[in-house]
Amino acid sequence: MAPLARLPIFLALEGRRTVLAGGSAAAAWKAELLSAAGARVDVYAADMSEEIRALAVDPPRGSVALHARPWMAADLTGAAVAVGTFENDSDAALFVQAARHAGVPVNVIDKPLFCDFAFGAIVNRSPLVIGISTDGAAPVFAQAIRAKLEAMLPKAFAAWAAAAQSWRTTLKERGLNFSARRMFWQRFSTHAMTNPQRAPTENDFDRLLGDVTNANEHALKGSVILVGAGPGDPELLTLRAVRALQSADVILFDDLVSRDILDFSRREARKMLVGKTGFEPSCRQNDINQLMVGLAKRGKRVVRLKGGDPMIFARAAEEIEACRSAGIDVDVVPGISAAQGAAATLRLPLTLRGRTRRLQYVTAHSREDRPADLDWKSLADPATTTAVYMPRRALAELIDAALAHGLAPETPAIAIASATRPDQRSVRAEVRDLVAQIEQANLEGPLLVLLNASGGAAQPATRLNTGVNAIG
């Protein structure tokens, strides 16, 4: 996991005593939050604002008691949290010191350096609650994000979350095994997402439970999903890919998969690197097949995560056949290929009306580390764009053979390393000069070459500008 500025924790404050030092309007807002969470709020201040007096008369949930005097250290004993509002740092420091001495987490309003915890912006669909924090760096930005989420999340999601809370115990009492319960909640989530404007009923529970109970034993066995991770940018994942990652028990991923992609998976999912990097030490395909099938036979939901699209130069046929031979359900989630991703970031059409009538994908890699027996005539066709995958070692030989079979030496070509990632770099050149340009630019990372792509003459190596997602 990447470093966290703050650990998001949701406190259970029902019936617990909290301390608020200060009676201002800002303090009233924090008192309202604490009361809404069910806390008993003791407010200590010599002067009370109209807002906090009104809140004490009509609190949202927990009681708000007003004490017309300054706070004292003894007031903090036994409190769950302490919140204060102070104009100067010296008064704030005294409050923080007393709270920490009493073992109470403390927050001083608008003074991040004195805070053990932060409130953040809140999207309330209780019991579904979303907290947003910028670690004090940009509170207005957090509020803008909150407003966007408020618009995206239907109010009825609160009812669905409340139903889940009440149905959980009932579901456990039915004696369903773990796989069946998880299937229920997966179907519950899909059902809630497709019915966001209404509250659930007991009929929904009965229907979902019936679907799971009547599912045959085969449906509850393990399964394998081949998932395309795309070329690198996690925002290029499909919704199906995200859902597969979030439902996986085990994820078998290749070296070419961006680690940012794994952030979309469940935290509890086991993640296993299975190699598959060209020309480098890696797991044998048969070992991967056996591991994948073995995990599925133990009832695991396995995601086989591959860079790009799993059906393009990714040995999908072997893995699908291994699953079918073992009687394991197998599905495929397509992904954006490296050629598509690179073309998009470069604003480089792969086809062009009146000029390019065909697009073909070829691989420069074979077991002999040399170009396979390709259709050289098609590579030389000036109306064809060719995407060459895995060209790192065999590109020079492939180009020489293509030139010998009629490919024009001045054919425009481009080599792209780490397509769609922040460190993407590329070089453009006439095809006869491409290998030299790649070596001169020292392109590192997964490499792709496009021959006869629209884009024109030679250019120096360029780096991806992540601000506008284009080559600068």
Is residue 377 part of the annotated active site? The answer reads no
Residue 310, number of CB atoms within 10 A of its CB: 23
Provide the 3-class DSSP secondary structure of residue 395: helix
Is residue 306 part of the annotated active site? The answer reads no
Q: Cis before residue 127, ω within 30 degrees of 0?
A: yes
- Which of these is catalytic: 30, 111, 276, 306? 276
- Which of these is catalytic: 254, 300, 309, 381? 254
What distance lies between CA 37 and its chain's CA centroid? 29
442, burial (CB in 10 Å: exposed 0-12, middle 13-18, buried 19+): exposed
User: Is the separation of the CB atoms in 356 and 384 below 8 Å?
Assistant: yes
Kindly list the catalytic residues: 254, 276
